[in-house]
Structure 1
Amino acid sequence: MRSAPTISIVFPARDEGARVAQTVVSAVETCESPRDIEVVIVDDCSQPATRPDISALAGRVQARVIRSDVHMGVGAARNLAVQHARGDVVFITDAHVQFSPSWDRQVGNLIKPQRILAATIRNQDHSWQGYGCRLVVPYMGTRWNTSPPGSAPHVQIASSAGTVMERSLFERIGGYDEGMLHYGGFEPEFSVRAWRSGAEILLAPGIEITHQFKAPHECNNFITSVRTALVHNCMRFGVAHLPDLMILEMVRLHSSESLEYIQEALRLLEQRDAWQRREQLSKSLRHDFAWFVNRFALRDQVGRVIPASGVVNQEELGGNTEDSCLLDKKLLT
């Protein structure tokens, strides 16, 4: 009889088909202690022909698929996967990745009770590496760090393709925000909430995850199809954490870029109790957003100082900031 796993690899899969088995094989074949690994996959309402199939791995891997007959979205699917995990540590990743050799030993060397590990992410053709992300305020998206952070190896935002922590810490932080819709913003919001709760996010350069990014045309088509969710999720993220007047600037930025989506996104924001969540987090988290700003000497997306109080005037906002919100959509986590 196999012992309980030490590390649970968890991820959602929606219409990923055979790529899921390839990910599982990579995780197990590159680790040093396969018996201490399990894999939990949430099939997020895939079409029958593209459901994750790991039947060929039976007897070789501790792996199971949890099927959802409704489309849960990234956050809820990850939370469900963690609920079914038995390992002391959860390794949150994607359905189409490859793992670097001895990744489990690196996890064991670095993991601590209040620490989240951010794996280094490689593009599939190895032309690019990401070392965690940084927050873009007040848009509330992210940009990748394309070089290591140097002498202070902490990063603001982990990557959803490689976020590792003790399962008890995940539960203490509260998991991913299920008030968000389907796709976009889950990892940034979770990371900021983790920092504000008293955890740290440490870059783990020895854990490399090779990720299959969408091609440019696929990315553009996908972003268009989920645009309302993206706008809503960015704004829900901002409502949860930003000072009051920066929320107004955030809405203005999204209105200038996504006018045809903003009305529905604002309706959803109210419908899904964003302001009640803001109030709850302000009471329960150890640090306020000003602490996060000071911790990383954070500036806004055009380089201006963010006032700790969030009280800004039009001169400080620099007039028309329409161009400042034109981010590379591929880099939104």
Structure 2
Amino acid sequence: MSISKFVSDCFDEGMRVRRDVCRAVLITSLVWMMVDVVVLFHFIDSGVSTKTATKIRAERRSIDEIEYTADIETKARLEILLKGLSFSKDGPGEMGSPVHIDPSKEQERKEKFKLNQFNLMASDMISINRSLPDYRSSKCRESATRYKNFQLPLVSIIIVFHNEAWSTLLRTLHSVVNRSPLELIKEIILIDDLSDRPYLKKPLDLYIQRFPLAVHLVHLKQRSGLIRARLEGSKLSKGKVLLFLDAHVEVTQGWLEPLLYRVATDRKRVVAPIIDVISDETFEYITASDTTWGGFNWHLNFRWYPVPKREMERRNHDRSAPIQTPTIAGGLFAIDRQFFYDIGSYDEGMQVWGGENLEISFRVWTCGGSLEIHPCSRVGHVFRKQTPYTFPGGTAKVIHHNAARTAEVWMDEYKQFFYKMVPAARSVDVGDLTERKALRENLQCRSFRWYLENIYPEAPIPRGFRSIGQVIQPRNGVLLWFKCNFIATNFCLKMILCGCGTSISFYCFYLGKQSV
């Protein structure tokens, strides 16, 4: 019977059925018809849908299996790497003590030494969590109380490495985590400058996930060198302060707060720690003097010199007070992020490594900032006798290129001293200097003479001179291979011992008459 016929019967033929019952039957019938339609369409589409869903699930399962297998392999490699290291604090090298290799393993020690130009066997024997004494003076420990009630800025720690040893890199990271207030560290940014050692790839990616703070690792696609790699890290940073570290250091107790405090109280301060020595032979931690500062010689090589009397007096002979230094070593320092960019970050025209520390030192001082070494902050650094890395075109060419860029942009007429001492630098292509010279002009930076007179009057470069040259002394018609550099100032011909900038004698001429 059709629905219309049923309705007609209900009402026209006078069936003795209540009207509400008829209505209920009608509604129920309509609902079941709709259910039938939905079920029908579901089965029509089920063939295609089921096949598609099965295909997607199969592909997803395949990808998961590949990722899972790769993860297992990485984990296995990482575990093997970690088994060769110690994490407990009861082995050799604790409290900064030296490690000596058994003479029977001397040949192995020599071979491994070549990989990084330090005693890799000794490093691998020392705990990644090696203990160190608190090297701070009592006055430094007392002054640390000021940091508790001061809101220190967050810092981004940037570490660049290229084929760094596994144990030294991990010890660097662990020392930072173990001896720093983690609430002050926004992040640690690791920049892998195209390393080709497998342990610095996926195993390191996996290992850094263990740290209780944000650690980012970037693998550069081409060899960039320290300067450009640091710039890559700086671009990624989110902290108010940038803190650059090398990849083979150990920080000590209370190292971070003094640096952040000095930058926070003057955003134009650039502050470095005292850089202690970690022996490349024994990994002994050797404290450096707190009365040395950074200078340079005529070759534009960075050098450590005793802090002069005038600076000691400025500090009121307070050994815990920051030292105003003419230059910094460059490997380790803290700087306000915005100030870093305001004054031109790094010179991107420089190559690989070397000379960037003097360039930024001259720039900071002459463009309105200041440089300090804080004696209450100590960081140990593995100092190597030679670099294990190769430089495109040779080490000398790269160093001369970078130094010449510094001299051309920042040293004014005093660049002559550098070129007289390093004639080979004249023939090096320094590249385009337009942007860097424009930067100096736009920042209205002071002259290099101002720097010598006010910041580094102890520099081995006289402020007044007429000419620069060399004197060669002949004897009995034979030319001796003994040369001295001379500077003709207004009154004297000053003889300088080559290489170290130490005066050995004076020949003075007054109004054309010789006086000795």
Aligning the two structures, in what range does the TM-score lie when normalised by the shorter sequence? 0.7 to 0.9
* RCO comparison, higher one (Cα < 8 Å, 6+): 1
Equivalent residue, structure 2, for 1:46: 195
Q: Paired residue for 1:274?
A: 433
Contact 2:295 2:459 in 1 (8 A): no
Q: How far has the Cα of 1:300 moved from its partner?
A: 4.5
Instruction: Report the CA distance between 1:37 and its aligned residue.
Output: 4.0
1:252 aligns with 2:412: no
Which runs of 5 or more residues in structure 2 are unaligned?
A: 1-152, 279-283, 315-322, 469-486, 503-516
SS at match of 1:28: helix
- Please give the alpha-carbon distance, in whole angstroms, between the structure 1 residues aligned to 2:501 and 2:169: 33
- Aligned pairs for 1:1-333 (under 5 A) are 6-18=154-166, 19-34=168-183, 36-49=185-198, 51=200, 53=204, 55-60=206-211, 61-111=213-263, 112-124=266-278, 125-127=284-286, 129=288, 131-136=292-297, 138-145=298-305, 150-152=312-314, 153-214=323-384, 216=385, 218-219=386-387, 225-244=394-413, 246-255=414-423, 259=424, 262=425, 266-269=427-430, 272-274=431-433, 277-278=436-437, 280-301=439-460, 305-307=462-464, 312=467, 315-316=488-489, 318=493, 323-324=498-499
Matched position secondary structure for 2:224: coil
**Structure 1 residue ranges without an equivalent (≥5):** 328-333
- 1:50-98 Cα offsets, whole Å, 9 max, x none, are 6362532314231111111211111111111111111111111101101
Contact 2:293 2:307 in 1 (8 A): no
**Number of aligned positions between the proteins:** 306
Alpha carbons of structure 1 residues 26 and 253: separation in structure 2 relative to 1, 3 Å: same
Aligned counterparts of 1:93 and 1:132: Cα–Cα separation in 2: 19
Q: Which amino acid letter does the alignment assign opposite residue 300 of structure 2?
A: M
* Superposition deviation, residue 177 in structure 1: 1.0
Give the stretch that moved more between structures: 118-127 or 224-233. 224-233
- Find the structure with the greater CA-based Rg: 2
Encode CA deviations 1:171-209: one digit per residue, 9 max, x unaligned.
111111111111110111111101111011122111111
**Aligned counterparts of 2:255 and 2:420: Cα–Cα separation in 1:** 43
Q: What CA distance in whole angstroms lies between the structure 2 residues aligned with 1:150 and 1:300?
A: 17
- Structure 1 residues 200-225: Cα deviation after superposition (integer angstroms, max 9, x where no partner): 112211111100111x3x35987994
Amino acid across the alignment from 1:324: G
> Partners in 2 of 1:89 and 1:20 — Cα distance?
22
Query: 1:169–1:132: structure 2 CA closer, same or farther, 3 Å change rule?
Result: farther
Instruction: Give the CA deviation at 1:241.
Output: 1.2
Give the superposition deviation at 1:325: 6.3
Aligned 8 A contact 1:134 1:157 in 2: yes
8 Å contact kept, 1:239–1:275: no
Alignment RMSD (CA, Å): 3.0
Distance (whole Å) between structure 1 residues aligned to residue 441 and residue 369 of structure 2: 16
- Secondary structure (helix, strand or coil) at the match of 2:351 reads coil
Cα distance change of structure 1 residues 107 and 297 upon mapping to structure 2, 3 Å threshold: closer
Secondary structure of the residue that 1:305 maps to in structure 2? coil
1:273 alignment partner, SS class: coil
Structure 1 residue 34: deviation in Å? 4.6
Question: In 2, Cα distance between the equivalents of 1:34 and 1:100?
Answer: 17
Give 3-state SS (helix, strand or coil) of 1:129's partner: coil
Q: Is the 8 A contact 1:119 1:158 kept in 2?
A: no
CA distance in 1 between counterparts of 2:501 and 2:390 reads: 17
Q: Secondary structure of 1:165's partner?
A: strand
Identity %: 18
